[in-house]
Amino acid sequence: MPALLHKLNYTYAEYLGFEASSNVKHEFLGGQIYAMAGGTPEHAALAAAAITLLGPQLRGGECRPYNSDLRVRTPTGLTTYPDVTVVCGPREIDGIDPLAITNPALIVEVLSRSTEEYDSGDKFEHYKTFPSLREYVLVSHRERSVEVRSRGEDGWRTTVVHEGAIAELSIGARLDVRELYDAAAEPSA
């Protein structure tokens, strides 16, 4: 979980005012505002690679990828900025927050040492309350693999896809694990 700011209970309106005047992103949940940790260059490169690979596959279709500047608000009240959000069809805007969407079809989070437990645990519990969410993709920082959590008729199922394999996504796109990590690799001099 990101670091908690000092005041004990904020209104959502206070959070929005704070976000509008801040150059740092924050999560909001249950009256608490949490500063989001800055990412490493490797983290940023993996998120950019995911968008770069998904974008051309989705072009001209009903789905569109967004970077971490897009705010999402869950039915449970968690407001945050996923690394990659894919929306299929028109964006549904939150009734209170005109800059937050409420209908992601796919969310990608690039894991880090400080966020891995939160992203794969509590944050996923909030994300899966989106009726629109079909898949949640966790990009490993430890090895070349992605974990795809897919919503089915009987609940959520998890598939880990390693280098050399391709994750077939329900949004009509594929994520080649080798290509993802190669696209994010530091160029050689």
pTM: 0.93
pLDDT tens digit string along 121-143? 999 999 999 999 999 999 999 99
Q: Give me the residue spans of the domains in the chain.
A: 1-36, 40-184
Task: For residues 39 and 55, give the distance between their C-alpha atoms in angstroms, rounded to a whole number.
Answer: 22
pLDDT tier at 6 (50, 70, 90 boundaries)? low
Beta-strand runs (E) in the chain: 3-4, 26-29, 32-35, 63-66, 71-73, 79-80, 84-88, 100-101, 104-110, 135-139, 145-152, 155-162, 166-169, 173-176
pLDDT tier at 186 (50, 70, 90 boundaries)? confident
| CATH node for 40-184 | 3.90.1570.10
pLDDT tens digit string along 34-50? 988 778 899 999 999 99
